[in-house]
């Protein structure tokens, strides 16, 4: 019968936590996710390895929390999407912005790594949906709901399905590098999705 003694979070060093986050982010952008080791993170952060193993299950978990800490710091009100009343124009704006974001090299490496881990790690996937994807999707669904009330989208449409139709093709094309991500492509996805869900 193992005891599985758990660490006491109240006594945790916030300083070490932040140093580990910072070191993790720096190392990833310097050498790439795959080449980052726990040892290297500890060394750069001036932390003991045990401090990392005590609080995280895996490298992926450390990396995830590192970026989560960043995104929580920089995000407050921007959770509201534009609502001009014209769902087509609003969606095209947002989708074009996503396409632009995906073209940013700084964005590319960590997100690819995160997605690769998520595929094989159900726990991480759940955490990702809850902490990162979830809030963003809620905002998008709020905008879609507004369009639904305005009669621009079928009243019985499943909004999760709308989001999947909108984003999954874009996402897959980017991950698989199976085609170019252009503003025209973004527009086409919006047009097709709106047609599919037209009242």
Binding site for a second copy (CB under 8 A): 33-34, 112-113, 115-120, 122, 125-126, 128-129, 158, 160-161, 164-165, 168-169, 171-173, 175-179, 188, 192-193, 195-198
Smallest separation, CB 21 to DNA (Å): 12
C-alpha 158, offset from chain centre: 22
DSSP H helices in 75-158: 87-102, 105-120, 122-128, 134-149
Smallest separation, CB 188 to a second copy (Å): 7
Smallest separation, CB 46 to a second copy (Å): 29
Contact call for residue 32 and DNA (CB under 7 A):
no
Give, rounded to a whole angstrom, the gap between the first and last alpha carbons of the chain. Answer: 60
Q: How far is CA 39 from CA 23, 72, 74, in A?
A: 11, 26, 28
Percentages (nearest 5) of helix, strand, coil residues in the chain: 75, 0, 25
Contact map string, positions 33 to 72, toward DNA, x by CB under 7 A: --x-xxxx----xxxxxxx-xxx--xx-------------
Contact map string, positions 6 to 25, toward DNA, x by CB under 7 A: -xx--xxx-xxx-x------
Smallest separation, CB 134 to a second copy (Å): 10
d(CA 165, CA 170): 9
Between 4 and 73, CB nearer to DNA? 4
Task: Determine the Cα angle at 175 with ends 141 and 138, to 5°.
Answer: 10
């Amino acid at each position: 019968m193992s005891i599985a003694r758990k660490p006491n979070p109240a006594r945790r060093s916030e300083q070490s936590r932040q140093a580990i986050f910072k070191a993790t982010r720096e190392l990833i952008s310097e050498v790439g996710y795959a080449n980052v080791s726990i040892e290297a993170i500890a060394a750069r952060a001036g932390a003991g390895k045990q401090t990392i193993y005590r609080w995280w299950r895996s490298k992926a978990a450390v990396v995830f929390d590192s970026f989560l800490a960043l995104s929580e710091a920089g995000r407050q009100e921007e959770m509201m999407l534009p609502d001009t009343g014209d769902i087509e124009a609003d969606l095209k704006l947002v989708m074009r912005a996503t396409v632009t974001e995906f073209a940013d090299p700084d964005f590319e490496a960590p997100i690819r790594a995160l997605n690769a881990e998520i595929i094989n790690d159900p726990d991480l996937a759940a955490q990702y949906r809850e902490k990162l994807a979830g809030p963003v999707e809620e905002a998008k669904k709020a905008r879609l709901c507004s369009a639904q009330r305005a009669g621009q989208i079928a009243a019985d449409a499943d909004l999760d399905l709308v989001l999947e139709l909108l984003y999954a093709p874009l996402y897959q094309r980017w991950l698989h590098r199976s085609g170019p991500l252009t503003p025209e492509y973004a527009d086409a996805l919006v047009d097709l999705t709106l047609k599919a869900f037209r009242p």
